[in-house]
Structure 1
Amino acid sequence: MRTLKSFYILFLLLTVSLQAQQTPAPAASGEITLTGGIAHIGNGEVIENSLIFIKDGKITGVYDALTTKRPLRGEIIKIDGQHVYPGFIALDTTLGLVEIAAVRATEDQDEIGEYNPHIEAIIAYNAESKVVESMRPNGVLLAQTVPQGGTISGESSVVQLDAWNWEDAVVKRGDGIHLNWPNSFRRGRWWLGEDPGYSPNKDYASDILEVKDFMKQAGAFEGDSEAVMNLPYAAMQDVLNGSQNLYVHVDSEKEILDVIKFKKEMNVENVVLVGAYRGYKVADEIAKAQIPVILTRVHSLPGSEDDDYDISFKMVKDLMDAGVTVALGNSGEYWQSRNVPFYAGQTTAHGLSFEQALQLITQNAAVILGVEDQLGTLEAGKDATLFVSTGNALEMKGNNLTKAMISGREISLESHQTELWKRYMEKYERTE
């Protein structure tokens, strides 16, 4: 039996490796002009008839074709009536870290131990993941790959999704450290005869104290080349000096308020709330503390029987109305990350305009990650990481890509899924 199981795992691994993703596109060079497209800038602005100039992988200008007299340059690509968007950004994912959840050998998302700020998820990132290639046909061209588990999971990075290896994929290495905040309530351990329902966590205060002690010790740490390096403490220095985000995964209102106190007490400059399911209840406090939020997947079911059925959809607007910078996350998922545009689209039925919804997965996401100077909007000086769709890319029927670029490189929109679709469509067409 063990031999059969080993053979099965080997077969799956070989299948994954033999059917690798599309060959990454070569480096961009020369000039390109996209003409006639409806340009969704990503900052709320829309240009109905646009001219987009690209040179050597960078956007050099975005203009209204009706008012500018600038001549067309380089390769002219007509996209009359189609929609142009900045590449969508998938936050809080395990993309490239998990391939087949049922096969342990293809999972590398967490490490043993509770405090692992020195663990970098990017080292385990698989650029040839078939899951990664399946993002691009939906316009998801960038992602934050995040480690899981423990109290401090490790360090995330920002990647582009058309690369040879993890070094090639990196857009920003080490954008922040991820802290899983202690829970004030715990579910009973049924296997020990406890009530499986939720009850107050008697150790909540001591759990927080343990986190604070770790932060204080890291703050007191001074690297010494002659001493043994304490890697966890050394890894926290960029969080403590304000050059790196501290992503705090937390949900309930009490715990969120405790995080706000923690931020002030520990003097941590850049805190980002991740998940924040009950954040709408303390939206004013979050805004006052100037803490951005990466929400949980908005297609999630209500967390309790007392919640409104549409709470996951409408909490976005509640936070934005309070003045909070909001982006949409994926709750550590990998396959579902391709649904990012439809998460954003769902919010338009609950108070947001399409351009506001677009900001949740473009400009706002880039600002939180600290890459807004090169990504997130269609503006001069930024990377030409964008795509063209025949319809509204935040709607399932409209999301139909005809062209996509990462840093000006025109990338393949094929994946193993599109290939299978074409294969079986041909089969059914022959039988009609």
Structure 2
Amino acid sequence: MKNFKIYMLPVLFFITGNLMAQQTPAPQQERAVTIVGATAHIGNGEVIENSLIIFEDGKLTTVTDANSTKRQYPGTVIEARGKHVYPGFIAPNSTLGLVEIDAVVQSDDEDELGELLPHVRSIIAYNAESQVVESMRPNGVLVGQIAPRGGRISGTSSIVQFDAWNWEDAVLKEDDAIHINWPNSVRRGRWWEGEDPGVKPNDDYEKDIRTLSQFFNNARAYLSGPQNTANLPFSAMKKVIDGKQSVFIQADGEKEIIDILQFAKEQKLENIVLVGGYNAYKVADEIKAANIPVLVGRVHSNPNQEDNHYDLPYKMAYLLHSKGILVGLENSGSMERMNSRNLPFYAGTVTAYGANKEEALKMITLNTAKILGIDDTLGSLEVGKDATLFISDGDALDMRTNKVSNAFIQGREISLESHQTQLAKRYIDKYGQQEKK
């Protein structure tokens, strides 16, 4: 038995390595790339039907109509007539790379013990070799904001690109925001303790808000004093207090959203982002007046309340957009990591419920980049920005036609192979062989 274990160990390591290995990250761009003839969806609402796009050293140098220039095309030329080119899609408020297998505790780093944890940094737990992260790229999802979960203040997120050896290589914007789970004003009765299982007021709601406010006040007092004693949670609040770090607040209820607006005013917080916002359309005027953007919760969802219209989740983004609110799409919830690859199709659904196609596209490109504070380098196909983009055979917001043929992150052409594509090829071969018999 002992010898059997010795012989089996190398086999297990070999199998595990093959199961977990990700595609090798692409090398730095060495020569110019020119894309000719594609319909370019710039990401800012503009469309160029017959485009000429050139990028060198990871940056876009030309984005124009191909008919407007007759010069020699430099570097590698990709003829893309009949295809479409898009800026890389951005997945905000995501736990991609923090959990690999839900049932394996050792692979779950999305949550930490405690309630007030602004000093917990999700980036150091980010697994750049995650097979789940790898599966985003064939649908054009190339960038994400990696955020923690749990507690009242979950921790600090960072923004990464999805083709890297490790988190240091992946990070685009480190420690960009802290994430808060706002308390609920109502709760469901705990039937296991003999309570009525129906919805009832949360008696601790005001107390929870006071606790959160007190934490902010104590952090401000600590940072303005001599700081003779180290306090990691208070120290981690410095950029928030100075207005240099965003605060993403998860809340759905109408009352909760109004209380968040008041909290932001009292705490003098300038960079607030509302996440989820299921009932935000009811207080859209107040949100607009406060100039707060909204990351709308998963579009492909069922209504939360009995008196909601069946398609409310589908049209939520458009309802807020029509009020002049800056809107992005996020995907937190059940099976969120695997479902993140559906981000473009959420935007596609939004087009069927009010928004035009380019406005919906902005909700997963430039709008999200603005919300995350990275629109100077990402979110649209504009000269000077990172060459993070992809070419699709058809409409990238339609799951029937989003077939990505080439993808680039900072000018590097990345692999579109994943565990899923390998399985697809394997079983296509299998059934192809059966058809021949």
Matched residue SS, 1:221: helix
Are the equivalent residues in 2 in contact too, given 1:29–1:57 (CA < 8 A)?
Answer: no
* Matched letter for residue 413 of structure 2: E
* Matched letter for residue 153 of structure 2: I
**Any idea what the Cα deviations from partners look like across 1:56-83, whole Å, max 9, x if unmatched?**
1100110101123443112211111110
Residue of structure 1 equivalent to 2:313: 312
The reply to whether residue 299 of structure 1 matches residue 300 of structure 2 is yes
Cα distance change on mapping 1:100 and 1:17 into 2, 3 Å: farther
Whole-angstrom CA distance in 2 between matches of 1:53 and 1:147: 37
**Paired residues, what number?**
424
1:263-302 aligned at under 5 Å gives the runs 263-302=264-303
Matched residue SS, 2:154: strand
Are the equivalent residues in 1 in contact too, given 2:94–2:331 (CA < 8 A)?
Answer: yes
Q: Displacement of 1:12 after TM fit?
A: 11
Are the equivalent residues in 2 in contact too, given 1:240–1:269 (CA < 8 A)?
Answer: no
1:1-400 aligned at under 5 Å gives the runs 15=16, 18-222=19-223, 227-331=228-332, 333-400=336-403
Whole-angstrom CA distance in 2 between matches of 1:226 and 1:264: 26
Matched residue SS, 2:68: coil
Whole-angstrom CA distance in 2 between matches of 1:13 and 1:124: 24
Matched residue SS, 1:216: helix
Q: Displacement of 1:20 after TM fit?
A: 1.1
Whole-angstrom CA distance in 2 between matches of 1:306 and 1:226: 52
CA root-mean-square deviation: 1.7
Which segments of 5 or more consecutive residues in structure 1 lack a partner in the other structure?
A: 1-6
Cα distance change on mapping 1:286 and 1:224 into 2, 3 Å: closer
Whole-angstrom CA distance in 1 between matches of 2:401 and 2:66: 24
**Any idea what the Cα deviations from partners look like across 1:206-243, whole Å, max 9, x if unmatched?**
11111100011111112778723111111111111111
Whole-angstrom CA distance in 2 between matches of 1:95 and 1:13: 25
Residue of structure 2 equivalent to 1:3: none
Residue of structure 1 equivalent to 2:404: 401
- TM-score, normalised via structure 1 length: 0.95
Are the equivalent residues in 1 in contact too, given 2:20–2:129 (CA < 8 A)?
Answer: no
Whole-angstrom CA distance in 2 between matches of 1:197 and 1:425: 50
* Matched letter for residue 379 of structure 1: E
**Any idea what the Cα deviations from partners look like across 1:28-87, whole Å, max 9, x if unmatched?**
122111111110000000000000010111001101011234431122111111100000
Are the equivalent residues in 2 in contact too, given 1:182–1:208 (CA < 8 A)?
Answer: yes
Whole-angstrom CA distance in 1 between matches of 2:225 and 2:210: 27
Are the equivalent residues in 1 in contact too, given 2:146–2:157 (CA < 8 A)?
Answer: yes
Are the equivalent residues in 2 in contact too, given 1:184–1:204 (CA < 8 A)?
Answer: yes
- TM-score, normalised via structure 2 length: 0.94
Cα distance change on mapping 1:221 and 1:212 into 2, 3 Å: same
Whole-angstrom CA distance in 2 between matches of 1:353 and 1:12: 50
Are the equivalent residues in 2 in contact too, given 1:16–1:130 (CA < 8 A)?
Answer: no
Are the equivalent residues in 2 in contact too, given 1:49–1:64 (CA < 8 A)?
Answer: yes
Whole-angstrom CA distance in 2 between matches of 1:274 and 1:221: 28
Percent sequence identity over aligned pairs: 57
Q: Displacement of 1:425 after TM fit?
A: 0.4
Whole-angstrom CA distance in 2 between matches of 1:275 and 1:222: 31
Whole-angstrom CA distance in 1 between matches of 2:101 and 2:88: 26
Which segments of 5 or more consecutive residues in structure 2 lack a partner in the other structure?
A: 1-7
Whole-angstrom CA distance in 1 between matches of 2:13 and 2:156: 29
Whole-angstrom CA distance in 2 between matches of 1:16 and 1:153: 32
Matched residue SS, 2:423: helix
**Any idea what the Cα deviations from partners look like across 1:376-418, whole Å, max 9, x if unmatched?**
0000000000000000000001110000000000000000100
Are the equivalent residues in 1 in contact too, given 2:345–2:399 (CA < 8 A)?
Answer: yes
Matched residue SS, 1:66: helix
Whole-angstrom CA distance in 1 between matches of 2:349 and 2:359: 12
